[in-house]
């Protein structure tokens, strides 16, 4: 079969209602967090992502899924430049989102 540069994967179902962890604190501090539609524009534009392995969309998803401690150190690499906020089509204040995630994860660190 001719390769097109990508592979098709089996269909997967993701139950947001049952697999997402509560994010009340973050939603309260940054209400626009709820508006994310996971388009990836923030990650594609990210200044940090141009230089290192840093994917804000991935951290957003992992935070929602409750896999939080493994992203605590990664989030420190954000430069808080705000470029991601400028391109977000849903008006998510991603810069504030990152700062709030850092704050919440900081309190959990040993
Ligand atoms: S650009 Fe906005 S809507 Fe798109 S994934 Fe990032 S935060 Fe979500
Ligand atoms: S604020 Fe952070 S996540 Fe957003 S573009 Fe800048 S470095 Fe990337």
Domain boundaries, the chain: 40-108
- Kindly report the protein residue whose alpha carbon is nearest to atom 2 of ligand 1: 88
Tens place of pLDDT per residue across the chain (110 aa): 556 677 777 887 766 666 667 788 999 999 999 999 999 999 999 999 989 999 999 999 999 888 888 898 999 999 999 999 999 999 999 999 999 999 999 865 55
Cβ of 98 below 6 Å from ligand 1: no
d(CA 75, CA 96): 12
d(CA 45, CA 59): 15
Q: CB-side exposure of 70: number of CA atoms within 13 Å?
A: 10
* pTM check: above 0.85: no
Contact 91, 35 (CB under 8 A): yes
Helices (H), strands (E): how many in the chain? 7, 0
């Amino acid at each position: 079969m001719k390769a097109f540069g990508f592979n098709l994967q089996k269909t997967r179902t993701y139950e947001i209602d049952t697999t997402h962890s509560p994010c009340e604190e973050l939603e309260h501090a940054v209400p626009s967090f709820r508006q994310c539609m996971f388009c990836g524009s923030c990650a594609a534009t990210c200044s940090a992502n141009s230089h290192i392995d840093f994917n804000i969309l991935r951290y957003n998803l992992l935070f929602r899924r409750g896999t939080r401690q493994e992203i605590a150190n990664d989030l420190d690499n954000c430069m808080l430049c705000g470029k991601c906020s400028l391109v977000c089509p849903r008006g998510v204040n991603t810069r504030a989102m990152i700062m709030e995630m850092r704050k919440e994860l900081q309190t959990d660190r040993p």
